[in-house]
Structure 1
Amino acid sequence: MSILVTGGAGYIGSHTLIALIDAGYRCVVVDDLSNGSAEAVRRIEMLTGERIPFYQIDVADPLLLSKVFYDHLITGVIHFAGLKAVGESVEKPIDYYQVNLGTTLNLVRCMAEAGVFKLVFSSSATVYGSEAPVPYVEGYGRGITSNPYGTSKAMIEQVLEDVAKSESRWQISLLRYFNPIGAHSSGVIGEDPQGVPNNLMPFMAQVAVGRRAALQVFGGDYPTPDGTCRRDYLHVMDLAEGHVAALENNHHLGCDAINLGTGSPVSVLEMIHAFESVTNVQIPFTIVDKRAGDLPEFWADASKAKQLLGWQAKRSLEEMMIDTWNWQSKNPDGYR
C-alpha cells in the first residue's frame, strides 16, 4: 500500500515524504519539477534508505496519472502540486486557475476511477480573505480572497466539498496552513525556491550566505507592535507531520477544513532578530513601501487540529532558525 504525493519534490512535499516514511508508509511521487527538484527525492532516499518511485509528469495529464494508479496500490493521496506565488498569480491569473484547478480536477477523477477516496489537500490561510478577524477559525468559512492564488485555493475547496457530497466514501481534509519555514534537522533537504524568493525566510537565508545583498522589509508602519507585518510561522516538519495526522484520521467522512499553525504571530523584525541571534550573522535590511494585498497580521486558531487530529506544532522559533541555517549554510546554492 502506497501514498501518492503530488508535488512531492517541492519544499513541503519533500519534507512530508520523510514524515510519511517515518510513520511506516511507502510513497510514490508525481512532480513536473516546475517548483521542485529530483535531487530532493534522491536525498530523501539516501536519508531513509527507502526507494521512492518518482514520475516526472504533469498531474493534469489523465493518461499518465491514471497509469501511476494502475502501477501502484495507492490507498491515499496528499496533493501539493500547483502554482503558489501570490505576486505571480496577479500577473498570470489564467495560469493559476488553469494549473491549480486543472491538476485537482484530473486528480480526483483518476482517484475515483481507481477506487481511492482518501485525499489530503494542501490549502491555504488565504481562503479566509482580508476581512476575517484574527485568529482565523475554520468556522468563519471562506472570505473574499485578494489574489488569484488564494481564489484558486478557495475554488478548489468548493470543488472538493461538492465531490465529497457526490460519493459517501470520500474522506477529504482541507489543510489550511500559514507560513512554513525551516528544514529537516539533517540539513540534507530544505527550501530551495527557483529564482528570487517570494517569502521572507528563504530570502533572509540567501542574504546570510551572500547570494543576495540585503533584505527588503515591505512596510514599517502597520498597526502592529513594531510596525511590520506579523505572521504565523511554523516548522515545515510540524506541518509535514500534520499531513500524516490528517491522512490517518478515520473519524470523519466527507470534507473537512483544518488549520495548521502555531497560534502565535511573529513580526518581520522579530524574525530577523531571531535569525541573527541563532546564527551570529547580521542581516542588512531596508524598510520599503508596502506591497499591495499584504495584511497587517494573521495567525491560526489551531485548536481543531489538536482535538480532531491530535496534532499541534511543537518546534520552537529558535529551532526553525537553527534548521534553516543548517540547511542553507551546508547548501548555499540549494540543490544546484
Structure 2
Amino acid sequence: MILVTGGLGFIGSHTVRALLDMGEGCVLVQRRTAEAPADLADERVAVEQADITDLTALLDVGTRHKITGIVHLAGSMPWPPNADEPVEATRKAIGGLLNIFQAAQTWGVSRVGVASTIGVYSGVAAEGALREDMPLPMTSPHLIPRFKKIGELLNEHLAAATGIEVVDYRISGIWGPGEPHGALFFAAPALIHAAAHGAKPDLSPLHGRAYAEDAVDLCYVKDCGRAIALLQLADRLNHRTYNVAAGRATSNAEIIAAIKKVVPDARVDLPTGGTGRASYLDITRIHQDTGYQPAYDTERAVTEYIAWLRAGNVR
C-alpha cells in the first residue's frame, strides 16, 4: 500500500483517486480523525490518525499496514508563519520530513515522493520553459518556496545517505474541485466560483491587481494527481526532480473566454495592462519517464469545475 500524507487534502485526495485507478491501495495519514469522503470510499483505502511530527505514532501505522511507497504531500513548513515560537515551529516542520525518511527506512520503502512547488523558480531570470536543471537562487520571497528549497536539499542528502529513491514534485498552479485557497496565488479559482454562483469574483486575497494578460502554468488537479501517481508507480525514473504541471501558461483571458462559453453572462472580466510575461514548467522529463500528458485543456477543466460547483459542492 502507498502511504499518502495529506491524503484527504486537495491534491492528496486526487492523488489517492489516481492511485486507486491504477490498482494501488492507499493508507491516508491525517493529523486529525477523519473518514474518507464518498469518492474515496473503497476497501483499499485506510485512514489513520497520526501526526507526522510524532515518530512513534507514524511508525505504528506500519505495524498495521504493509507500506510499499510514500507520497508526502502534507505541509513541511512552520505554520502559521507568525508563530510565537518560530524556532520550535521550524524544528517540527523539518522533523516531520525527517520522520518520513525514518519510517521509510524502518519499513523498507524504496521510493519516497515529496511535494515541492513552482515557487522554487522565483528569481530565475527566464521567460518560457522552466526546466528542472536550471540553477535556482538561494533566496526565496515567500515561506513556502523557502522551505521547499530546504526540503529539496535535505532530500538530496538523505537519498544519498540512505539509498532511498527520492522524487521531488515541483508542482505548478493547481486548480479544480476541492481547491481550498481561492484567489490566494492566482485568479482562476475565484473567477470559476463567481461564474458558478452568479457573483462577482473576490480577488482581494491576491497580492496585486489581476489583469487579463496575467498567466501561470495552471494544471487541473486531476492531471496533477495522476502525474504524481505515475511518478510513484513508474518502474524506473531517470531523475530525482520532476515538474508536475500542464506544460503551458494559461492566461486569465483564456480562463474568462472558457467561462463565457459555459456562462455567457458571467461577470468575470478583468482589465488589461498586465506584464504579459508567460513562463511555464517544462514537462519533458515526466512525459519521457512516465508517459504523462495532461488530459484537461482549459475549456474542459472550466466546464467540469463549474458543473461540480453547481452540483452543490462548496469549493
Structure 1 and Structure 2 fold alike (TM over 0.5): yes
TM-score scaled by structure 1? 0.80
Which secondary structure state, in structure 1, belongs to the residue aligned with residue 4 of structure 2? strand
Deviation at 1:285, TM superposition (A): 5.7
1:179 corresponds in structure 2 to 173
The answer to whether residue 292 in structure 2 is matched with residue 315 in structure 1 is no
- Are the equivalent residues in 2 in contact too, given 1:125–1:177 (CA < 8 A)? yes
2-structure distance, mates of 1:295, 1:109: 45
For residues 229-252 of structure 1, give each alpha carbon's deviation from its aligned partner in whole angstroms, at most 9, with x where no partner exists.
210111211111111211123324
List aligned pairs for 1:19-30, cutoff 5 A.
19-30=18-29
State the partner residue of 1:148.
143
Q: CA deviation at 1:105?
A: 1.5
Residue 209 of structure 2 is matched in structure 1 by: 219
Q: What is aligned with 2:225? A: 240
Partners of 1:130 and 1:301 lie apart in 2 by: 17
Native 8 Å contact 1:209 1:332 kept in 2: no
User: What percent of counterpart residues are identical?
Assistant: 23
Matches within 5 A, 1:297-312: 297-312=278-293
Partner of 1:111: 104
Give structure 1 stretches of 5+ with no counterpart: 183-189
> How far has the Cα of 1:273 moved from its partner?
2.6
Q: Which residue of 2 aligns with 1:265?
A: 249
Runs of 4 or more above 6 Å deviation? none
1:314 and 1:130 map into 2 onto residues whose CA distance is 30
Secondary structure of the equivalent of 2:37? helix
Task: Render the CA deviation track for 1:284-332: whole Å, top value 9, x for unaligned.
Answer: 4666999xxx995431111111112221213211111112112211134
Q: Which residue of 2 aligns with 1:202?
A: 189
Given that residues 245 and 283 in structure 2 are in contact (C-alpha distance below 8 angstroms), is that contact kept between their aligned partners in structure 1? yes
2:55 aligned residue (48, 62, 71): 62
| CA drift at 1:220 | 5.6
Report the CA distance shift for 1:332/1:127 in structure 2 as closer, same or farther (over 3 A).
same
Letter in 2 for 1:43: A
User: Hey, what's the Cα distance between the residues in 2 that align with 1:8 and 1:243?
Assistant: 12
**Letter aligned with residue 306 of structure 1:** H
Number of equivalent positions? 307
Query: Aligned partners of 1:327 and 1:125: how far apart in 2?
Result: 26
Is 1:126 aligned to residue 119 of structure 2?
yes
Q: Closer, same or farther in 2 for the Cα pair 1:203/1:238, shift >3 Å?
A: same
- Mapped to 1, the partners of 2:124 and 2:55 lie a distance apart of 38
Task: Give 5+ residue unaligned stretches, structure 2.
Answer: none
Match of 2:162 among 154, 158, 167: 167
Deviations 1:5-30 (CA, angstroms, capped at 9, x unpaired)? 00000011001111101100011001
State how far apart, in whole Å, the 2-side matches of 1:295 and 1:163 are.
40
Partners of 1:193 and 1:59 lie apart in 2 by 22
For 2:63, the aligned partner's letter is: Y
Aligned equivalent of 1:73: 66
Which is worse superposed, 58-67 or 309-318? 309-318
**Aligned residue identity for 1:246:** L
Greater Cα offset, 315-324 or 89-98 = 89-98
Q: 1:231 to 1:116 in 2, by over 3 A?
A: same
Per the alignment, do residues 113 and 333 of structure 1 end up closer, same or farther by CA in structure 2, a change over 3 Å counting? same
- Counterparts of 1:241 and 1:167, CA distance in 2: 28
One-letter amino acid of the counterpart of residue 190, structure 2: F
